Amino acid sequence: MSVLISPALLNGSSAPVPATDTEEDEESLTHPLLNRLSRSASNNTSQVAIVGSSVSPIESLDYEIMENDYFKQDWRRGEKIQILQYVSMKWMMCFFIGLLVGLVGFCNNLAVENIAGMKFVVTSDLMRARRYTTAFLVFASSNFGLTLFAGLITAFIAPEAAGSGIPEVKAYLNGVDAPAIFSLRTLFVKIVGSISAVSGSLVIGKAGPMVHTGACIAALMGQGGSQKYGLTWKWLKYFKNDRDRRDLVTCGSAAGMAAAFRAPVGGLLFALEEMASWWRSALLWRAFFTTAVVAIVLRALIDVCLSGKCGLFGKGGLIMFDVTSANIAYQIWDVPPVLLLAVIGGIWASLYNFLQDRVLRIYNRINERRAAYKIVLALTVSIFTSCLLFGLPWLAPCRPCPSDTSEPCPTIGRNGNYKKFQCPPGHYNDLASLFFNTNDDAIKNLFSKNTDAEFHPFSMLIFFITCFFLSIFSYGIVAPAGLFVPVIVTGAAYGRFIGMIFGSQSTLNHGLFAVLGSASFLGGSMRMTVSLCVIILELTNDLLLLPLMMLVLLISKTVADAFNGNIYDLIMRAKGFPYLERHAEPYLRQLAVSDVVTGPLQLFNGIEKVGNIVHVLKTTGHNGFPVVDEPPHSAAPVLYGLVLRAHLITLLKKKAFLQNPAPAGDDAFEQFSADDFAKKGLEHVDRVEDIQLKDEEMDMFIDLHPFCNTSPFTVVETMSLAKALMLFREVGLRHLLVIPKVSGRIPVVGIITRHDFMPEHVLSLHPSLAKSKWKRLRVKLPRGVKII
């Protein structure tokens, strides 16, 4: 029969840590529903987090292969041709992922450029006719309608599609699964909602949604399609475990970033540096192949559009900001302004992360309510944005058109550096040239060379401040929204403003300062170096900037690290994802694994009664159970292995029962197939409550030996908690068995799971260790002046 043992725990308690003086404000902004559900689920492997814009249960993934007897027998039966087919399918899947993500990325840009372009053309025509009120109504109502559409489909079809999706994908690759983040409806809403929201002139980007889109495509292909909607293909169902699907999702996220910026190497490095928690050389090659396919697809489609067959898109281009100049040169006296730009940019970016975190926590409270509140919030942001984008250019003075320009002035049509707005003939409004464009074209205008005299410092300051705050308040609404492009455009405005200040003392033109400003904001906000450096170089097509780019990224990241974490880690923390960091906090080295496990632990005997299994499955939410052999089946109590909840449910469904408590024969495997123990799809979960058993069947037995993982990872109870964390994270475990230091005791004393490593659980058990946490610089304001 099953045994209850204490102290030991399948899952740690997630009780909150008592707030200290420095943590009080952060604790007060925590999502209240998230707190309640976390406390109620403290003894289960499942927890809750904010996925997109809704609170959803989450669970851990298991990247360890369950090496039970059935797995070994199935693998031994495999022929060489099947192994070759398995390996070939991985490469074929990477090809199709790259192909589909490239097509989706191109169609996204095609749709945004044409929808937003038509809106700007109509508004500009009304402005030239001096019908200013009508122009504003058309502009604002178009943005309102596009945002309303994006909000409606996100709130009512797939709330998981809200936001950029990068925190959710990053958490998945760290071992945290959430329902529906890779479903077919999430993919649909992510694509359509991102197009609509970006076209609605919100200060958001489509790079983050593209990463999530690529991950969705990879996950759906990895499970053979969508079972819920009947779109499945049996020939794709080769990947039956979390590890294979994790590799595909990693390739999909790399492909998404490559498609967003036409940066194949940058997308690969982004997945390696920021997204993946586990990497190996074989995965590197497949991800590289996937991004190469994306680059080829985009190049072929762009060539078609250059002939003018893609409407307004053919005039704009695919997110390519070419600032190449054959005469780029910089001297030693150019370095101090660049260093100052990097330091100040890091400070601004850390402030950006701080404000974004606080605003997102407030939005979480609003999004906790009914869908109507979410949509009203999104529409409020849309109206406020439209008023600013249309009203602020009236503050900028009209500037005469330059005589040596290579393009028409004022601009006729959608894109260009010289928007007429309300100015007389022969003049242009520099601020309208930035506001009345898509974010991509605004970046292109800021990055453009030989334009030092085209923007006024006052206009650039207004544009920087506006983008800084609008991007903060636009992220978190119920719509797909990315952060990459807003951070780039904000940093470009900041860098160009710095270039205007130091223009007479530097040989660098303002466009190059804008590129370096974007690098400083990206490094200070995202806290990446190598991938950002390559992405920006692939965007600008200018290798001569490499030394300065590396310097700016390193300095801005170092400065910002002193204040807070990167933006995606802050968002994951605000959403409640139990993310395992790369480093261990100092207090973890002061604890052993036995210090964080508490009772009770549920064990099964090697031959267990059906009624006991059903009772345990119904009364607990645990995912894995140690199996122990005791006399007479063994000379002494011994840990035989670990059996999964999903495998127990499969045994109950198949009714693999025995009349007597005796070992099963060699025919135990005949009634099962490999698919029975494969990882179920993203939208399919078996429940023990759905299994109907008779009373006489409840008195039968199940031999668990053939279905146990006989080689689970184990640690001695005296091992350092920090060392156990590194093992848990690097191998990608869901369960880590704790065995006793000395013999003569029960063979397993506890199970360590992901939540046992969480600071909330550890510090709730040992609050005196809170002083050993890593500290960051803080600017502590008097309570009377605290606003957020």
Is the per-residue pLDDT at 75 higher than 90?
no
CA distance 227 to 16: 38
* Four-CA torsion 228, 158, 215, 571, nearest 10 degrees: -140
- Per-residue confidence band for 26, with pLDDT thresholds at 50, 70 and 90: very low
The region of weakest confidence among 37-41, 284-288, 402-406, 506-510 is: 37-41
Is the per-residue pLDDT at 764 higher than 90?
no
Radius of gyration of the chain (CA): 29
Residues across the chain: 788
Encode pLDDT of 402-443 as tens digits. Answer: 777 767 777 766 566 678 888 888 888 889 888 988 888 888
Encode pLDDT of 176-205 as tens digits. Answer: 888 788 989 999 999 999 999 999 999 999
According to DSSP H, which parts of 392-438 are helical? Answer: 430-435
Q: What is the mean pLDDT of residues 759-764?
A: 86
- The percent of residues above 70 in pLDDT, for the chain, comes to 80
- Per-residue confidence band for 381, with pLDDT thresholds at 50, 70 and 90: very high
- Per-residue confidence band for 44, with pLDDT thresholds at 50, 70 and 90: very low
- Closest by alpha carbon to 749, among 590, 592, 624, 594? 594
Q: What is the mean pLDDT of residues 325-342?
A: 77
CB 160 within 8 A of CB 57: no
For residue 493, the model assigns a pLDDT of 95
Say what angle helices 439-447 and 510-526 make with each other, to 10 degrees. 130
For residue 213, the model assigns a pLDDT of 96
Is the per-residue pLDDT at 134 higher than 90?
yes
The region of weakest confidence among 50-54, 274-278, 534-538, 555-559 is: 50-54
The amino acid at 72: K
For residue 335, the model assigns a pLDDT of 86
Encode pLDDT of 240-249 as tens digits. Answer: 677 888 899 9
For residue 34, the model assigns a pLDDT of 46
For residue 200, the model assigns a pLDDT of 93
Is the per-residue pLDDT at 785 higher than 50?
no
- Per-residue confidence band for 380, with pLDDT thresholds at 50, 70 and 90: very high
Burial class of residue 671 (count of CB atoms within 10 Å of its CB; 0-12, 13-18, 19+): exposed
CB 97 within 8 A of CB 247: no
- Per-residue confidence band for 284, with pLDDT thresholds at 50, 70 and 90: very high
- Per-residue confidence band for 503, with pLDDT thresholds at 50, 70 and 90: confident
CB 11 within 8 A of CB 45: yes
Is the per-residue pLDDT at 604 higher than 80?
yes
Is the per-residue pLDDT at 477 higher than 90?
yes
- Per-residue confidence band for 576, with pLDDT thresholds at 50, 70 and 90: confident
How many secondary structure helices (H) and strands (E) does the chain include? Answer: 27, 16
Q: What Å distances lie between residue 27 and 22, 24, 167, CA to CA?
A: 10, 5, 20
- CA angle, 421 then 510 then 407, to 5°: 45
Long-range contacts of 280-285 (CB under 8 A, 24+ apart): 283/247, 283/250, 283/251
Q: What is the mean pLDDT of residues 110-120?
A: 89
Q: What is the mean pLDDT of residues 734-743?
A: 88
Q: Which two tokens stand for residue 752?
A: 């360590």
CA distance 16 to 70: 42
Q: How many CB atoms lie within 10 A of CB 694?
A: 9
Q: What is the mean pLDDT of residues 352-356?
A: 95
For residue 414, the model assigns a pLDDT of 58
Is the per-residue pLDDT at 599 higher than 90?
no
Encode pLDDT of 665-708 as tens digits. Answer: 666 666 676 666 666 654 556 778 888 888 888 988 988 888 88
Q: 5 or 339, which is more confident?
A: 339
Long-range contacts of 465-472 (CB under 8 A, 24+ apart): 466/388, 466/392, 466/435, 467/203, 467/493, 468/348, 468/352, 470/202, 470/203, 470/385, 470/388, 471/203, 471/204, 472/352, 472/355, 472/356, 472/359
Strand partners, 659: none
3-state helix, strand, coil in the chain (%, to 5): 55, 10, 35
CB proximity list for 474: less than 8 A, separation 6 or greater: 202, 203, 204, 381, 385, 481, 486
Token pair 């690529």 is at which residue? 214
- The percent of residues above 90 in pLDDT, for the chain, comes to 37
SS3 714: strand
- Per-residue confidence band for 1, with pLDDT thresholds at 50, 70 and 90: very low
For residue 787, the model assigns a pLDDT of 45
- Per-residue confidence band for 321, with pLDDT thresholds at 50, 70 and 90: low
- Per-residue confidence band for 100, with pLDDT thresholds at 50, 70 and 90: very high
For residue 390, the model assigns a pLDDT of 93
- Per-residue confidence band for 714, with pLDDT thresholds at 50, 70 and 90: very high
Burial per residue of 354-385, b for 16 or more beta-carbon CB atoms within 10 angstroms, e otherwise: bebbbbbbebbeebbeebeebbebbbebbeeb
Is the per-residue pLDDT at 22 higher than 90?
no
Q: What is the mean pLDDT of residues 634-652?
A: 86
Name the DSSP letter for residue 580.
P
For residue 6, the model assigns a pLDDT of 37
Is the per-residue pLDDT at 590 higher than 50?
yes
Region of residue 529 (left: phi > 0; alpha: psi -120 to 50; beta: else)? alpha
For strands 54-60 and 176-177, give the pairing: antiparallel
For strands 54-60 and 47-51, give the pairing: antiparallel
Element (H, E) at 603: strand 601-605
For residue 780, the model assigns a pLDDT of 52
The pTM assigned to this predicted structure is: 0.87
Is the per-residue pLDDT at 767 higher than 90?
no
Is the per-residue pLDDT at 582 higher than 70?
yes
Q: What is the mean pLDDT of residues 764-768?
A: 86
The region of weakest confidence among 312-321, 606-615, 724-733 is: 312-321
* Highest mean pLDDT of the ranges 61-75, 168-182, 315-329, 519-533: 519-533
CA distance 209 to 166: 8
Token pair 């998230």 is at which residue? 34
For residue 177, the model assigns a pLDDT of 84
Q: 739 or 27, which is more confident?
A: 739
Q: How many CB atoms lie within 10 A of CB 322?
A: 14
CB 276 within 8 A of CB 246: no
Kindly report the average pLDDT of the chain as a whole number: 82
Backbone angles phi, psi at 41, to 5 degrees: -105, 25
Q: What is the mean pLDDT of residues 749-762?
A: 88
For residue 538, the model assigns a pLDDT of 87
CA distance 165 to 590: 36
Backbone angles phi, psi at 154, to 5 degrees: -70, -45
